Structure 1
């Protein structure tokens, strides 16, 4: 069994064949998926998709690209929306300095709001961090001193220092198809140094399809290939890696019912 801990099933890329995409995921052994919210104002659409499929859960949150649009979203609003039985995480929220879609100030404000909600609900915070390692480490360290919260560094492609700081603070680390790219030698080396009980896999579909589908539309079924490459990096079997990442997912996303 595998889990796609992060995909975007609400994106237009999937609108016409969502049923078939989820069926292909099941056939590939992917029995659970979390479709991730990028705008709180579009949460209803996310929620409807999660409600439509037994194997799909969702999050509620504001992506850093949209932070400037949703600085008015409160922790209390996130907490209230997270009471829905299908909502199993807060986010994705974070810092993205690669693109200039929102000011660093707005991104930080929105991130801290999401941290407050994650701390209150004890639902895992799905963290997006790109080209912002130092600021992210500083904020996480500061906020953990206020009160602990579960969290995940999603689609990890940052430096080793952030990965190790995340582990120190109790976070989990999730790898996407980026891990399989030929140029990702350093990333595979970082993965090999991380403890097996803190690792997850994801697609971030429709983006970042793993080799050999790179450049094409990604989908949850392809998480099996990322799991394979992660297993190779750690020197374990695909089955061992699948079991570990699934158990890690169920431990972190504790609101998801244990599969029968």
Structure 2
């Protein structure tokens, strides 16, 4: 039996409301350190890098605005063997990883801290698939590998998903992880990103507003679908 099955190209609108696992190191290789030629690495007043925070904030905002609910996956890099140079441990420090977790907490975006937790999410169908490298797909036990995610507000209209026939799973079937997306903690985001990291407050607040609007849209759509489903069930009786 072949490992790789079907490859599908779908309109991004088909993923509205989908919960997708995002390999944090894969994400960083895509939109943190791949800077535009005219762009320099961002730092705070003490010279500490802040590019990783800017890119994670913007990337998360882009995903939400395009209808995708991200779940970031953190893990020890030594646990996954990848030939992708972008996964090199030198690309980001443990301090930066902890700062990203702090940012996601204030943004209200869920994350897990191990590959085993990711496999639980996949096995219990809490997430649709995982955005990671093909080399790491087996480690996560993902049947669906996602590519071409919209990490910016308006860049893509199509996404690619690769289906795998053979997957490994190390999850305990009795375990379950509850995922929650919360409204951003604007006060702590301003303290962290503006006061500590010298982000522009006006631009940050505009971004937070867009994230809030995206989360409200998720909630409204979910309620609409719930009542629509209930109405159909009543009509069948």
Classify the TM-score, shorter chain: 0.3 to 0.5
Higher alpha-carbon Rg: 2
